[in-house]
Amino acid sequence: MGMDGSATGDERSRADSGGRGHGALLDRVFLSRVVEPGDEVVGRWVREFGVGEVVRRLREGVEPLPGVSFKRWEGLRARGARAEPGVDLAVAREAGVRFVGPGDVEWPGQLDDLGDARPMGLWVRGRASLRMWALRSVAVVGARACTEYGAHMAATLAGGLAERGWVVVSGGAYGVDGAAHRGALGAGGATVAVLACGVDRPYPRGHTQLINRIAEQGLVIGELPPGDHPTPSRFIVRNRVIAALTRGTVVVEAAHRSGSLVTARAAQRLGRHTIGVPGPATSGLSAGIHELLRGDAVLVTDAAEVVELVGDMGELAPERRGPVLPRDLLEPAARRVLAALPGRGAAGAGEVARGAQTTEDDAIARLYELRSLGYVERHGDGWKLTRQAMISVRAGRSRC
């Protein structure tokens, strides 16, 4: 059965059939303890044989599954021998954590785009519905060792997205991730932290207070069962979940080898929006983003531009303009006459008329109009700009 209750007839639906029963729940919890996140071989087994059959063979060991060496198969079986899914569920409940698997009402369907690399399930801490929140979410990721500029941009973008009703998703790490979470929380908005460890043990430890606050106001999720610790490889594969869960990934400050670029490239492969915030051309911390922007990524500078990309039709960013100057309110003919006056000294009406490409009578009429507004003054037989007009004209020229 599909997520909408209709029969699809494909192998993945067969693998998920009965996924709402307690036995299938225990089987997926078992696999979350035995299998490393993103293992496509085991994902293929689940698709082809079903969750229950994969677990049975791992427990009994009499019929090895195809595609792995004997050594690897025995390693999986050894981990399976120590797995206690009932205990994991009890520990999770005690910590206010639930397990959500494919086929459950709360499962975000966009994670199915990961194919055989999709999670066996997700451990979720927090009261909100993960599926509903994921429908309108944006990832904001970037450097751990970010600059003040990077932290400011991440917090400002996240706050702006939250104010517009978008859920901000990030990885809970130091630097850009933490700034993004704080920006969303500070705006009274929603945020999701995707961890590379058990959600009952916040990591990094220095973000314990922040992650606990996210769990209270938002959601903390992860693929690994209670008590599991992070490893470098787990951080990398975690990023595919961030990319798949959201409509687009915004990268703020990323060097050439930044892990946040893994998230961006995963988003590209999945057909999600890939978005970059530019930094100084001389900054090594922005070199990775600039490389993305030379490719298919889209440059943004604020939350409105992000929403214009990932949002629904009609959610357009405002037109970008400089400040409105008093001279902008003049009629076009009066602006041409004003622009025809020299920056220094005076000019006769005939000279002004030629510069404005109009008649001398029209130029004189406009000059008197401009004098009443304080832009020009008579100087003998000529006309000259007032101090106010000189400032206005210079400002206008500097915007051209």
The per-residue DSSP string of 160-207 comes to: HHHHTTPEEEE---TTHHHHHHHHHHHTT--EEEEESS-TTS-SSGGG
Average pLDDT value for residue range 76-91: 94
* pTM listed for this prediction: 0.78
Q: Are 17 and 8 in contact (CB under 8 A)?
A: no
321 has pLDDT over 70: no
Q: How far is CA 196 from the centre of its chain?
A: 18
Which residue is listed with tokens 């051309």? 281
Residue ranges making up the domain that contains 78 = 11-92
Give, to the nearest 10 degrees, the angle between helix 259-269 and helix 232-245.
40
Cis bond before residue 102 (omega within 30° of 0)? no
Average pLDDT value for residue range 337-347: 87
Q: Are 303 and 160 in contact (CB under 8 A)?
A: yes
Q: pLDDT value at position 2?
A: 39
Q: Is residue 108 part of a domain?
A: no
Question: What is d(CA 367, CA 353) in angstroms, rounded to the nearest whole number?
Answer: 10
The verdict on 149 and 295 lying in the same domain is yes
Q: Is residue 341 part of a domain?
A: yes
Question: What is d(CA 7, CA 1) in angstroms, rounded to the nearest whole number?
Answer: 4
Write the CB contacts of 139 (distance below 8 Å, at least 6 apart in sequence): 168, 169, 170, 242, 243, 245, 246, 248, 249, 250, 263, 267
The verdict on 180 and 80 lying in the same domain is no
Average pLDDT value for residue range 124-135: 95
10 has pLDDT over 50: no
pLDDT grade for 17, boundaries at 50, 70 and 90 = very low
The verdict on 208 and 357 lying in the same domain is no
- Span 167-189, pLDDT tens digits: 999 999 999 999 999 999 999 99
Could you tell me the CATH number of the domain that includes residue 230? 3.40.50.450
Q: What angle do CA 12, 22, 108 make, to 5 degrees?
A: 45
* DSSP per-residue letters across 133-166: HHTTEEEEEE-SS--HHHHHHHHHHHHHHHHTTP
pLDDT grade for 13, boundaries at 50, 70 and 90 = very low
The verdict on 195 and 48 lying in the same domain is no
Q: Is residue 145 part of a domain?
A: yes
Q: pLDDT value at position 344?
A: 83
Select from 248, 275, 310 the last residue of a domain: 310
* DSSP per-residue letters across 365-395: HHHHHHHHTTSEEEETTEEEE-HHHHHHHHH
The verdict on 240 and 374 lying in the same domain is no
Could you tell me the CATH number of the domain that includes residue 336? 1.10.10.10
The verdict on 292 and 360 lying in the same domain is no
Phi, psi of 91 (to 5 degrees): -60, -40
The verdict on 78 and 131 lying in the same domain is no
- Span 201-211, pLDDT tens digits: 899 999 999 99
Average pLDDT value for residue range 311-325: 60
Phi, psi of 103 (to 5 degrees): 95, -20
The verdict on 149 and 282 lying in the same domain is yes
The verdict on 138 and 225 lying in the same domain is yes
- Span 355-398, pLDDT tens digits: 889 998 998 888 888 888 888 888 888 998 887 666 655 555 44
The verdict on 289 and 340 lying in the same domain is no
- Please give the mean pLDDT across all residues of the chain: 88
The verdict on 227 and 153 lying in the same domain is yes
pLDDT grade for 18, boundaries at 50, 70 and 90 = very low
The verdict on 278 and 131 lying in the same domain is yes
Domain count, the chain: 3
**Computed from CA positions of residues 153, 156, 159, 164, in that sequence, does the dihedral angle turn out positive or negative?**
negative
290 has pLDDT over 70: yes
The number of C-alpha atoms within 13 Å of 271 and in the hemisphere containing its C-beta is 4
